[in-house]
Amino acid sequence: MKNALGPQGWWPVSRDAATPAQARLEIVLGAVLTQNTAWENVRRALAALYRARLVDLAALDAINEPHLAEIIRSSGTFRVKARRIKAFVRSVQREFAGSLEALLGLPLPQARAALLRIHGVGPETADAILLYAGRHATFVIDAYTRRVLVRHQLATRRDGYDDLQARFHEKVPANLDVYHEYHALIVELSKRHCRAKARCEGCPLEGFPHDPSA
């Protein structure tokens, strides 16, 4: 995939991030904002947050939820996402003394458990945050990954998140750079080829057994 699609260099942090800490918070916000929407909408919501000086935990804690929702309106289901962002920020403020680094610096199982306790953070969002903001080698199983695996008869639609992730971890030794790039390549592959209606011709995985109608 890498030869065909080129290096992806994810996560696509914006140029607005002034410090590594702000970049980490931007990744967290992006991971919440991207739920059920296209990345372009996320990009616009993040730009609005930067304009409002809200890529900052204390500022996000201070702003009221309806106002935050208006600012991230472009991300779709913006009221739900505002509630989730506020819940995330509250949790970091109260449980980790306002330090995202303290949360992300926990060993992987504890950090993942802490994230999963937060309202609106499911396994996919937690793993995206851990992989790209926390630099933990945990693989993200998103809808794109599942579709590619199903079409290549490596999974069924009924397989659970943890099961698919465990299988991936078993086959691909934990390596942060590899996991970063692997997930990004699956996303790119899915945008270019493995769409709702598969475009197998020219796909880098075309030579492997597959059923594009699955």
Nearest distance, CB of residue 27 and ligand SF4, angstroms: 26
- Closest to 152 measured CA to CA, from 116, 204, 101: 204
DSSP state of 53: T
> How far apart, in whole angstroms, are the C-alpha atoms of residue 182 and residue 126?
17
Site string for ligand SF4, 89-128 (x = CB under 6 A): ----------------------------------------
76: exposed, middle or buried (Cβ count in 10 Å: 0-12, 13-18, 19+) = middle
> How far apart, in whole angstroms, are the C-alpha atoms of residue 20 and residue 98?
16
> How far apart, in whole angstroms, are the C-alpha atoms of residue 207 and residue 214?
17
> How far apart, in whole angstroms, are the C-alpha atoms of residue 55 and residue 38?
20
Q: Does 193 bind ligand SF4 (CB under 6 A)?
A: yes
* Cβ proximity to ligand SF4, 107 vs 202, nearer residue: 202
* Cβ proximity to ligand SF4, 16 vs 181, nearer residue: 181
* Cβ proximity to ligand SF4, 173 vs 209, nearer residue: 209
Nearest distance, CB of residue 203 and ligand SF4, angstroms: 3
* Cβ proximity to ligand SF4, 139 vs 144, nearer residue: 144
Please report, as residue ranges, which positions from 146 to 185 form the binding site for ligand SF4 (by CB under 6 A): 148, 151-152
Site string for ligand SF4, 194-213 (x = CB under 6 A): x---xxx--x-xx---x-x-
Amino acid at 79: R
* Cβ proximity to ligand SF4, 81 vs 151, nearer residue: 151
Q: Any alpha helices (H) in 64-160, and if so which ranges? A: 65-71, 78-95, 100-104, 108-116, 123-128, 143-151
How many residues belong to the site for ligand SF4 (CB under 6 A)? 13
Residues forming the site for ligand SF4 (CB under 6 A):
148, 151-152, 193-194, 198-200, 203, 205-206, 210, 212
